[in-house]
Amino acid sequence: MKNSSSPNEAIGPSATLADSVTEVLREKIRSGEFAVGDRLPSEAALSQRFSVSRTVVREAVSRLKADGLVATHQGKGTLILEASQLARFHIDAEDGSVQAVLRVMELRLGLEAEVAALAAERRTMAQNADIQRALLAIDQAVAAGRNGVDEDVSFHNAVASATGNPLYTALLDFLRQFLREAVTLGRTSEPGFGEITRQLRDEHRAVAEAIARQDVEAARSAARHHINNVVARIRGADVGSWSDASREVARRLAKSEEDVLKHSLEGRR
């Protein structure tokens, strides 16, 4: 592996820091700088190298796992894998409209409802604590003046982890880039919904409370209610008044997976 200890490596502008780190790591794997069989630098080393948090690094590595580019082996760390020739799932749409967003949300509806139900049935005390912390983190982010998008996605990922089924987690890892854009649109493109923050908080809390008391049907219903409400808010948005950032969100959602990996989100507010 070449230059594996380079400090403070620059990363380019992108929708999120995780996007940027993921792209840099993908390129290093494609170029052979990180060769097949090499061990990926540690989480701490990558965090220092890119001047980002370990949470960002963890998300980037999870995306590489979802792509089949790396795998973690006990006692060996995270190893670079040989490129797979298997066909990859695509999310492909032909236009950059609100309909592209809604197609992703329809896919998310069935997934999130079942994930919440399984989390309620199977969650451990520790996993429940993770979910409740993730819920609190959304409020803290909003109170600090941030949009809460990263924390929102983390909440849904904590719920997925509580299913105990790594396939749900892997699928959400793949969808995360699209889910993030849908969450962004749902949080930033609704000038007619002044109560959006309260609505989202109440919806998330209903999911978390159902999981906490292990009420399977209530968790499923709360998750469906949440996603349906997000869809309704997006449908009710004045598309003509979307910000440039929201238009770009819709454009990215309409792109195929390969295009999303190649292009960064521009004009982020």
Number of continuous H segments (helices) and E segments (strands) in the chain? 11, 2
Higher pLDDT, 60 or 128: 128
User: What's the DSSP call for residue 211?
Assistant: H
User: What's the DSSP call for residue 17?
Assistant: H
Q: Give yes or no for residue 191 having a pLDDT over 60.
A: no
Of the candidates 243, 112, 111, the residue with the CA atom closest to the CA atom of residue 184: 243
Q: Give yes or no for residue 9 having a pLDDT over 70.
A: no
Residue with tokens 């400090």: 7
180-194, 197-211, 247-261: range with lowest mean pLDDT: 247-261
Alpha-carbon distance of 250 to 11, in angstroms, equals 24
Residues 6+ apart with CB under 8 A from 118: 162, 163, 164, 165, 168
pLDDT digits (tens, 9 = 90+) for 142-189: 888 887 877 888 898 899 999 999 888 878 766 665 555 555 555 554
Contact, 265 vs 112, CB < 8 A?
A: no
Q: Is the dihedral of CA 24, 27, 28, 33 positive or negative?
A: negative
For the CA atoms of 118, 172, 61, 189, what is the dihedral angle to 10 degrees? -130
pLDDT digits (tens, 9 = 90+) for 33-77: 989 889 999 999 999 999 988 888 988 888 888 778 888 887 888
The predicted pLDDT at position 94 comes to: 43
- For residue 173, the one-letter residue type is D
Higher pLDDT, 56 or 243: 56
DSSP result, 109-128: HHHHHHHHHHHHHH--HHHH
Question: How far, CA to CA in Å, does 103 sit from each of 94, 157, 215, 251?
Answer: 12, 20, 29, 13
Mean pLDDT of 234-242: 57
Contact, 141 vs 150, CB < 8 A?
A: yes
**pTM of the full predicted structure?**
0.59
Contact, 104 vs 91, CB < 8 A?
A: yes
Complete domains list, the chain, with CATH: 17-80 (1.10.10.10), 98-262 (1.20.120.530)
Burial 208-225 (b: 16+ CB within 10 A, else e): bbbbbeebbebbbbbbbe
pLDDT digits (tens, 9 = 90+) for 80-107: 988 654 445 555 544 445 676 677 778 8
